[in-house]
Structure 1
Amino acid sequence: MIMGRSGAGKTELALTLVERASLRSEQAALVSDDRTMLRAEDNHLIASAPVALAGGVEIRGAGLFKVPFVASATLDLVILLVAREEAERYPGGGIWSFEGIELPRLLLPSLSSNGDSNALSRAIEATLFYERWSPENR
């Protein structure tokens, strides 16, 4: 789930992540834009879109558009788009909690703070799919 203030680049980043997953023959889909409903289920957080907003996104400067979406998905990671000076260069194991369920959290620079959607996507993909490196686990 991507969170941040209005204009931070949440939709741009989400669409970039979906596009990049498709290029790698992996599966990713948009659940919701603007407003997301969360529920706890079997120690997982499930995200879904309000019925009135399902399948729609706002692309700044262009308007509202229909995009492919899924009705719900289990959350694995929370991304907070923040001002550049608040972003973490080396994430320190941040946690985001909702209804007693904890998820890993990344603080990344908002696109309005000169963040780049491809660069941010790489940080997110690394967190989700790569093994962390250290001298001990080469």
Structure 2
Amino acid sequence: MSAAARAPYIHANALVLGDKGVLLRGPSGSGKSALTLALISRYQSQGEFARLVGDDRVRVEALNGRLIARPHPAIAGMIEIRGHGLSRVETEAACVLRAIVDIRTPDDPPSRLPDAAEKSASLHAIALPRLCTEGCSDVSVARIIFFIQSIATI
């Protein structure tokens, strides 16, 4: 069985912002889809490239020292808009992940001054820069954009 066939789907969103793949993780109802839509909209309104890769269920696998994200085939090309349902959007079939954003709840807010260990996360033994933020707000969108733009392209 290939590594791709064994890679499980995780509860997350994947998207491309500019030239960087981003994995948004968080509990159900934390605002992953709304944050994904807000980030894509902000990038595109500034004339920058942004696309959804996968909403809600994403397969992440390690290939040649990189993490590749792909959508679940049953919902590829769609994103949930709460109060509206599933909608088709422009997508990319896969992306190389360059960062992880963890959405925290008000009961478990992010650290004000995170230590070095909190600034990275590992998947399949590959470490990526990490940001923790709370829910979907203009502040979270601004934090994520600043964070993504501060990551050097490899």
Q: Same fold (TM over 0.5)?
A: yes
Matched, 1:107 2:135: no
In 1, Cα distance between equivalents of 2:128 and 2:43: 21
In 2, Cα distance between equivalents of 1:99 and 1:120: 27
In 2, Cα distance between equivalents of 1:124 and 1:92: 18
Aligned to 1:127: 147
3-state SS of 2:147 partner: helix
Aligned to 1:70: 92
In 2, Cα distance between equivalents of 1:18 and 1:92: 29
1:41-89 Cα deviation digits (max 9, x unpaired): 2211110002111011111111111111110011111111112342133
Aligned equivalent of 2:123, options 88, 98, 111: 98
Alignment of 1:72-91 (within 5 A): 72-84=94-106, 85-91=108-114
Aligned to 1:134: none
Task: Between 3-12 and 120-129, report the one with greater CA deviation.
Answer: 120-129
Aligned to 2:3: none
Aligned to 2:40: 18
3-state SS of 2:44 partner: helix
Q: Is the 8 A contact 1:30 1:70 kept in 2?
A: yes
The structure with the largest alpha-carbon Rg is 1
Question: Which amino acid counterpart does residue 63 of structure 1 have in structure 2?
Answer: G
* Structure 1 portions without partners, runs of 5+: 132-138
The Cα of 1:129 is off from its aligned counterpart by: 1.2
TM-score of the pair, normalised by structure 1: 0.84
* Structure 2 portions without partners, runs of 5+: 1-22
More strand by share: 2
Aligned equivalent of 1:31, options 29, 41, 53: 53
The Cα of 1:91 is off from its aligned counterpart by: 4.2
Matched, 1:53 2:75: yes
Describe the shift of the 1:126–1:92 C-alpha distance in structure 2 as closer, same or farther (beyond 3 A). farther
In 1, Cα distance between equivalents of 2:93 and 2:125: 23
3-state SS of 1:125 partner: helix
Q: How many residues align?
A: 126
In 2, Cα distance between equivalents of 1:62 and 1:41: 36
